[in-house]
Structure 1
Amino acid sequence: MQLTMGNIGPIRTATVDLHPLNVLIGPNNSGKSIFATGMYAAWSRAAADYAVRRVRLGKHFSKIPDERAYEASAYVFEMLEEGRTPQVEEIPDVIKDIFTELLHEIMHLYSRGMVTEFERIFGMSLMELRRRQKRLTKGTISVRSWRPTWSIGFEISSRGVTVDVSPPPLSEVWPKAGTNSWKRIKRRTDHVQGLPRTYLLREMATEIARNCFNKIPYHTKYLPAARSGLLQSHKTLAASMVRRASMAGMEELKIPAMSGVVVDFLGELLELETRNSSNFTDEAAQLERDILSGTVRLEDDAFGYPEIIYTQGQGDYPLARTSSMISEIAPIVVYLRHILSRHDHLVIEEPEAHLHPASQTALARCICRLVNKGLRVSLTTHSEFFLQQLNNAIIASAIPEPEADEMGFDLGMRLPPSKVGAYLFEPTANGTEVHALEVSPDAGISQNSFSEVEEKLYGESVVLSRRLEEDK
């Protein structure tokens, strides 16, 4: 998957591929958070689910002659009964044409759902997202997929949004239906009798529609930079809105505008369940040991509302009475223990916020383990400590296994360069330009943006030291 933005917010041009770990680096106000929000919107499952639900199967399959429907259905059933995979080349051309039409409709529905999702996540219309210079520029957003190959492009101008859709070829989507998909289709259609068997063809069409989006993470979650404050205040905000709800219909009910990122984060907190996810409990416990020196748990209050409690040797504390460090790490622990699963995508803004350098490196090591266990992670960072720990994990992947183990880099900690995408957000007079950074096994991610600061500080130190020597 690939996301490209042009003339959006402060960004002049940016293209980022979806890696298991995506690292966005750059100075403040360079557009990293805006692009991270775009990643959350572009790789959200909502638009894809909307397309699969809304496709009008009946309209397309009513065009198929009965004999062709029977011919295709009989062939597919025969293949499924024999435990073989139906081949698209053996399907009648009229059926293939219908499936191709469906792919076009699905992708247009997907583009419509994506516009809605982008506007919901950003909390504004696409036209408001355009970069402002002397005048409003023409913005562009495009999302691409490979295997299957498709693209959706949006051109945003004062006249509105123009959409360009390039659907995937049927020959690429069909083979994505693996053994389990065909078994599912067979289970759903075993009881169907009579002719024509368009029911079977509809089941196949639904499966093919899902296959268009097999590269999109099943769930994408976002931890915003303001999570500590939101975590401490969300219960008060929810209570205030509930109290005001009794006046709905009698007076105007004003709700403060919030972006979809914040709304989704608050929604996750309000809907937390005390049951555990089994995928990342070890990593959640590791963060509690290495950083929190305590534990985080959910506890229902008198109304069944989930309260996040921090427990240390001295007692139990609601998050409103804890430090900002605990409020920053607690939501990550909660997400790992109760929300996230393998193959999900987690976007974290500034994971190093409010953390001591030792805690920053501990969190970076945990993220390496999460990536190796199947969680996709995208993050923005300003921290040289955090980035250096990621680099150590990348370099360790090139060291012989016994030596890496001795140095504390077991298999879960070693991060191959192929799993990492790093991008530098570089402000210019004409807007921020984003460049892909080299990720090498012998150096990790290039840190040129930090090196410039280091050199400047070193130069100042040398001048000051010389001045002190002269004054003596």
Structure 2
Amino acid sequence: MIIELQNFGPIKSFKFDTSKDIHAIFGKNNIGKSYAISAVYLILKSFIEYTSIQYKPDFNKDFDKKIPTLLERLDEIGNDETLDISEEVKIDLSNILKSSIVLLIDKSFKNSYNFKYLQNKLNSGEATQIAIKNDIAEILIGLDEHNENLILKSINWIPKIKIEKNELYSLELWEKLPERNNIYSQDIRFYKDELNKVLEVCINSYVNQFANTIGKIYFLPASRSGLYNALNSLGAIFAELSRNRNIISQKIEIPNFSEPISDYFLNLNTIDKTQVNEKYLEHFEEIEKNILKGSITLDTETKKYFYTPLHSEIKLELSFTSSMISEIAPIIAHLKYIIPFDDKSTSILFIEEPEAHLHPEVQVALLSFFGKLSKGNLKIVMTSHSNYIFNKLSNLIIAKEILPENINISLMKMTNEGSVIEDGAMSVDEYGIEDNNFADIAEQLYEERMQLLNKL
């Protein structure tokens, strides 16, 4: 599945391909990297949610009104000829998408973005658009005329649906769909249930091409440790305020967190098991031993995570540990306790700035760890400002630990019309990644040093 954002917040254009195992997005601060991956996360989450709630819309509810027109059109063709009804079906499919996938995306976006600022102000002449496409179809979503809701703008549907006129009408569906439907009837008026099935095949084929391969998705925001500790503390504060609400004279506003941050906190605090996935147990033990010099454990009663140093029985709350440990602990907690590493489906982990508060040596070790996980059932999506992250990714490609075709490296740059992915700035091949981001700074520092030394 390909997701494209156009004129979205500070972004002029951004493209994401779910088939890649590792995505790394580099660029300067405040150009929309987090904005972009948050939007992609919410869109993919909506597709997964659609399948999990077993959404059942009212397919083709106006079928009876269409019968006279269908009969009239069938009268105009000869026996053994076919009548293409793809456009009629597309209208029904559009209505289904509006009341399902688009509605779910709209809800999640409203929980995370202020729609007043969703339109790209730097390129105000162009409308905000979100394109979501796969082999089955492409849908285009945008803001309504009041910039208050996301709506379906258009749908480009590839499959063809035809009725063949003969002694038994034949309804046939084909072209790039996993199921082929041939339905026969002597009376077109009896087709309602059959057409409903056709519509269901179409919509489910579009959704399931992604949802059947991706099980769950997770989002780890920047400042992970600060958010975790703050939200844990807020829980106790809210409980105390609730207990004393009769003596509180002023209205207290509860902070509004975006949906990715809310999901992050809920994942860390709703887990009810401590069983570690055996498939990657040795990798978890390796990173805890060599990087953390201790282990991350979970108390299922209090829903709190603790750090235990090696060769010790002391349990330290994360707020009392070093910045390195407290920042990397949520990553390890997700990998160790939350993400299901099974063979049935693949998970996607979105992580902002995995290098935060980490020594370069630890950054490199963490990237090696990510490289091993990406060979299994986990896709990694990250934003970064780290030259060490960049160079380690490049070395993993040269060492054939990561295949060039399985990785996507992007450089976001700001233009007069918003941020874009710069074409070819970080191209990938068997020799690694081309550096058009960090090399310039390194050269500037070197030249500055030489000038200073020449003055001595």
Give the alignment's TM-score, normalised by structure 1: 0.75
Q: 1:174 to 1:452 in 2, by over 3 A?
A: closer
The answer on 1:33 being equivalent to 2:34 is yes
Q: Is the 8 A contact 1:52 1:209 kept in 2?
A: no
Q: Is the 8 A contact 1:21 1:376 kept in 2?
A: yes
Per the alignment, residue 228 of structure 2 pairs with 231
Q: Is the 8 A contact 2:48 2:215 kept in 1?
A: no
The structure with more strand, counted as a fraction of residues = 2
Matches within 5 A, 1:31-180: 31-44=32-45, 45=47, 48-49=50-51, 53-57=55-59, 59=61, 103-109=93-99, 110-122=101-113, 124-125=114-115, 127-133=116-122, 138-155=126-143, 160=148, 163-166=152-155, 168-170=157-159, 175-176=177-178
Q: Show structure 1 runs of 5+ residues with no match.
A: 66-91, 183-195, 398-413
Per the alignment, residue 13 of structure 2 pairs with 13
Q: Is the 8 A contact 1:55 1:102 kept in 2?
A: no
Distance 2:175 2:257 in 1: 38
Q: Is the 8 A contact 1:173 1:212 kept in 2?
A: no
Per the alignment, residue 458 of structure 1 pairs with 446
Q: CA deviation at 1:245?
A: 3.8
Q: CA deviation at 1:367?
A: 1.1
Distance 1:326 1:240 in 2: 25
Bigger Cα displacement from structure 2, 32-41 vs 273-282? 273-282
The structure with more helix, counted as a fraction of residues = 1
Q: Is the 8 A contact 2:59 2:96 kept in 1?
A: no
Per the alignment, residue 270 of structure 1 pairs with 269
Q: Is the 8 A contact 1:141 1:154 kept in 2?
A: yes
Per the alignment, residue 414 of structure 2 pairs with 427
Q: Is the 8 A contact 1:25 1:425 kept in 2?
A: yes
Q: Is the 8 A contact 1:168 1:212 kept in 2?
A: no
Q: Is the 8 A contact 1:3 1:141 kept in 2?
A: no
Q: Is the 8 A contact 1:308 1:319 kept in 2?
A: yes
SS of the residue corresponding to residue 225 of structure 1 reads: coil
Q: 1:157 to 1:93 in 2, by over 3 A?
A: closer
Per the alignment, residue 74 of structure 2 pairs with none
Q: CA deviation at 1:63?
A: 8.9
Q: CA deviation at 1:339?
A: 1.9
The answer on 1:212 being equivalent to 2:211 is no
Distance 2:280 2:233 in 1: 30
Alignment length (residue pairs) = 404
Opposite residue 417 of structure 1, the aligned amino acid is P
Q: CA deviation at 1:144?
A: 2.1
Per the alignment, residue 73 of structure 2 pairs with none
Q: 1:59 to 1:227 in 2, by over 3 A?
A: same
Per the alignment, residue 395 of structure 1 pairs with 398
Deviations 1:228-260 (A, max 9, x none): 101223221112223334577998553112111
RMSD over aligned Cα atoms: 3.4
Q: Show structure 2 runs of 5+ residues with no match.
A: 68-81, 160-172, 182-189
Per the alignment, residue 346 of structure 2 pairs with 343
Opposite residue 461 of structure 1, the aligned amino acid is R
Distance 2:382 2:17 in 1: 13
Distance 1:61 1:245 in 2: 53
Distance 1:417 1:107 in 2: 35
Q: Is the 8 A contact 1:103 1:167 kept in 2?
A: no
Instruction: State the percentage of identical aligned residues.
Output: 24
SS of the residue corresponding to residue 268 of structure 2 reads: helix
SS of the residue corresponding to residue 210 of structure 2 reads: coil
Deviations 1:17-71 (A, max 9, x none): 2322111110111211111111111221356348951511483788999xxxxxx
Per the alignment, residue 71 of structure 2 pairs with none
Give the alignment's TM-score, normalised by structure 2: 0.78
Q: CA deviation at 1:168?
A: 3.5
Deviations 1:86-122 (A, max 9, x none): xxxxxx9899999766533332222222122222233
Per the alignment, residue 293 of structure 1 pairs with 293
Distance 1:239 1:172 in 2: 57
Distance 1:94 1:158 in 2: 36
Q: Is the 8 A contact 2:21 2:378 kept in 1?
A: yes
Opposite residue 357 of structure 2, the aligned amino acid is H
Q: CA deviation at 1:166?
A: 0.8
Per the alignment, residue 72 of structure 1 pairs with none
